Amino acid sequence: MSGVPEVQRRQTIAANSTGLDEVRTISGPIWSNPVRVRAQIVRRVCEALERSYGMPRLGNPEDPLDDLIYIVISNKTSPKIAQSTYERVRQRFRTWDEVLSSRSSALRRVLRPAGLFTVKSRQIRAALRRIKGDFGSGSLAGLAGESQQDTEEYLLSLPGVSEKVAKCVMMFTLGAQVLPVDAHVHRIAKRLGWTVRRRPDQCHQELEALVPGKRRYAFHVGCVMHGRTVCRPRGPACEGCCIDRHCVWYEGGSGHE
């Protein structure tokens, strides 16, 4: 008898049947289903989320650099405060170049309501300096026409830009079919049994292997909305949840506490 635990053995078989040779990229119980069943579950979850929440932009600006700065401001603050702080920044500085030509305290002052204002100010100014050095001005318009891989690599090379932030900018402003994994996406994917990984930043490869490109936007924004309102970190409102029939956590009884 094999010494490999049953769950791990089933996942290994499932991984091999996908053609994915990197078994380490997968971890949740959904992977023990045949490919066709997995695809059906993912489609039903994405469709249910889209029916419930639509395809909102979640306040993200349409320009890549505007969005990058908006996402930095949004870190660890409420959507409402992030939005109002971003608007104050836009009112205070006419262009992103003006942020660099002003004293650093000017940006810190405007960012204060969003919290972590020293770190955020440092991150924003460092990214703007790099972008100005690379493109000659405070704009990421030069990324238009670049391949998805080159764009992601460039964004990741900017100070303070994580994989999640790079993918958000690409998804919201450049139409890239990527899947940013934030705390909401991670929590819901875990409860659905799509991953067992402990941190959001560990799941990008695994969840992109599961969710097809054309469904990633709906899944991301649906999870953000669902995670804010229904599938909250504590005390999720499982009764009436639009994806409860696909939820391993609920099926296992945790949702009946």
Q: How far is the CB of 45 from ligand SF4 (least distance, A)?
A: 9
By CB under 6 A, is residue 236 in contact with ligand SF4?
A: yes
3-class state of residue 126 by DSSP: helix
3-class state of residue 19 by DSSP: coil
Q: How far is the CB of 28 from ligand SF4 (least distance, A)?
A: 13
**Binding residue for ligand SF4 (CB under 6 A) from 3, 218, 231, 233?**
231
Buried b (16+ CB within 10 A) or exposed e, 216-238: bbbbbbbbbbbbeebbeeeebeb
**Binding residue for ligand SF4 (CB under 6 A) from 230, 235, 253, 257?**
230
Enumerate residues 153-192 that contact ligand SF4 by CB under 6 A. Answer: 188, 191
Nearer Cβ to ligand SF4, position 120 or 215?
215
Stretch that binds ligand SF4, among 74-82, 85-93, 195-203, 231-239 (CB under 6 A): 231-239
By CB under 6 A, is residue 241 in contact with ligand SF4?
A: yes
State the number of CA atoms in the 13 A half-sphere of 182 facing the CB: 22
Q: How far is the CB of 228 from ligand SF4 (least distance, A)?
A: 12
Render 169-238 in DSSP notation, one character per residue.
HHHHHS--------HHHHHHHHHHTS---SSGGG-HHHHHHHS-GGGHHHHHHHHHHHHHHTS-SSS---
By CB under 6 A, is residue 50 in contact with ligand SF4?
A: no
- The token pair at 136 is 């000659």
- Enumerate binding residues for ligand SF4 (CB under 6 A): 188, 191, 230-231, 236-238, 241, 243-244, 247, 249-250, 255
